[in-house]
Structure 1
Amino acid sequence: MTSLDFAGLIFFLLVFFGYQRIAKMVGRGKNVNALMHQTRRIWMQRLMERPDRIVDAALTGHTVNSMSFFCSATILVVAGLLGVLGKAGDAQQVLGAWTFVTHSSATIFQLKLIGLIAIFVYGFFRFTWALRQYNYCCALIGAAPLARNDYPHRLELADQMAIVYTSALTAFGGGIRCYYFGLAWIAWLIDPVAFIAAILGILIVLLRRQVYSHSHQAIRRFVELNPPEDLAPQEPMRDERN
């Protein structure tokens, strides 16, 4: 491995594990994830007022199906990469036939494949942790008290439900990002310069969606026009790496 390979690897690790902090700094605390947490607070506050919560149950169930799909798909990706690792010599010969691919030793090529597998294994754990937390959220929704305006802790309960909901979707988003950064890692099989360029390109795309997209503007305006009821907003707890 050259010094450029090491620089690309360090850059990848910093961006991959520090993305949430980067997005928070760039968006000044008003990125899509932060705004969606406020939106979920509004949702849970409305849920506490509704006597019939069929719509809320349907929306929750739809997201559970999406998480289950990605859990299964990630396992298939890991299985396919393990198959490629077993035929690493053949795969290296195929890539080596391309003129724009930087040649490397068989050991380095195998280590890069193992790193790619590790990314998707990490994504699988993120998806399964998101699914578990979503089940917790379903239990909280089902145990929510009946709609009564005189219930003293209505807003606080809604905030706690929103925190669990946001924590689940934060883990889900972490799993989705494994697919994005997995593509950048594949570029490392070609060339370390392509690896660094791919990391930077994916980071720009993700940050643009978080801070400068039309969806961000619409969600931000929605929260401004329809703010949560007065209660000290609570930040979601630091996501556990399970």
Structure 2
Amino acid sequence: MPLPLNALEWVALAYLALLWIGYGRYAKYRACREDSKPSLSRSLRWHREAWARRLLSREMRMTDAGLLASQERVVGFFASTTLLLLAAVLTALTISEQIAELTSHIPFTQGQSAAQIEAKLALLLLILIYAFFKVTWSLRQYGFAAVVMGSAPQPTEELTPEQTQAFVENLARLMDSAGHDNNSCLRAYYFALSVVCWLAGTLPFVVTATIIVFVLYNREFGSTAVRGIQGSYIAPP
């Protein structure tokens, strides 16, 4: 049985994997560096640690609970959206022949068989499944963070500096891990867009995947939002 993808499409698929894995490793590397270069993940980690430390000095923590609940709602929205997208892709798999016929009429695109369309939709399905696992684990971790936040000692309780630092680091690490998994889900969404463009041909797929990397890089390391988050950090006393 012949493979549904030709040699050029396999090269394009390898290019997508290289971009995705390479960018993820680079983003992690930048997040772990201790320098002044902007990094969304590192800047948010600073703020999470400051939040956890200042939380211990507040008696009334409704605002903290509300902020965490708001984050859970946002992540929950992406979880439900991913399920809807999975249902849409599964439906599209049943009409692959019609999609192949439709894409053949798009200008400057190459003709594709139903088997090629099915292979690309299957890849899109796998990306969305990956995103679903990431976003649901992120949602659970925010729930765990809510439990840890609820168990936070009151300001009247005597804590050693070591106990305070341990609480701050572990709560920040938990929220940081939840944020990273949510970010992985969003990154999967972006690269899924390039697979959608692949239905129109290999060239649109490669161009879109490359543009997506530049967009992600700008938003995580060069955007006004990142500079604002980094610049607004004030270390707790």
Instruction: Give the TM-score normalised by the residue count of structure 2.
Output: 0.90
Q: Distance in 1 between matches of 2:159 and 2:67?
A: 25
Verify: 1:65 aligned to 2:73, yes or no. yes
1:103-114 alignment, distance < 5 Å: 103-114=111-122
Q: Which amino acid aligns with 2:15?
A: F
Partner of 1:22: 26
Verify: 1:214 aligned to 2:218, yes or no. no
Q: Distance in 2 between matches of 1:17 and 1:136?
A: 28
Q: Distance in 2 between matches of 1:45 and 1:165?
A: 13
1:195–1:130 Cα change, 3 Å: same
Partner of 1:237: none
Partner of 1:50: 58
Larger mean Cα displacement after TM superposition, 105-114 or 16-25: 16-25
Verify: 1:165 aligned to 2:175, yes or no. yes
Partner of 2:194: 184
RMSD, aligned α-carbons: 1.7
Q: Distance in 1 between matches of 2:166 and 2:236?
A: 12
Pick from 5, 9, 19 the counterpart of residue 5 of structure 1.
9
Write the deviation string for residues 212-233 of structure 1: whole angstroms up to 9, x where unpaired.
111111222223xx1256xxxx
Q: Contact (CA 8 Å) 1:41, 1:228: kept in 2 or not?
A: no
Write the deviation string for residues 178-214 of structure 1: whole angstroms up to 9, x where unpaired.
2211111111111212111111101101100111111
Instruction: Give % identity.
Output: 27
Pick from 188, 204, 216 the counterpart of residue 194 of structure 1.
204
Give how far 1:28 is off. Answer: 7.8
Give the count of matched residue pairs: 227
1:26–1:54 Cα change, 3 Å: closer
- Partner of 1:49, secondary structure, is coil
Q: Which amino acid aligns with 1:14?
A: L
Instruction: Give the TM-score normalised by the residue count of structure 1.
Output: 0.88
Give how far 1:138 is off. Answer: 0.5
Gap regions ≥5 residues in structure 2:
none
Larger mean Cα displacement after TM superposition, 88-97 or 148-157: 148-157
1:27–1:173 Cα change, 3 Å: closer
Partner of 1:142: 150
Give how far 1:156 is off. Answer: 1.7
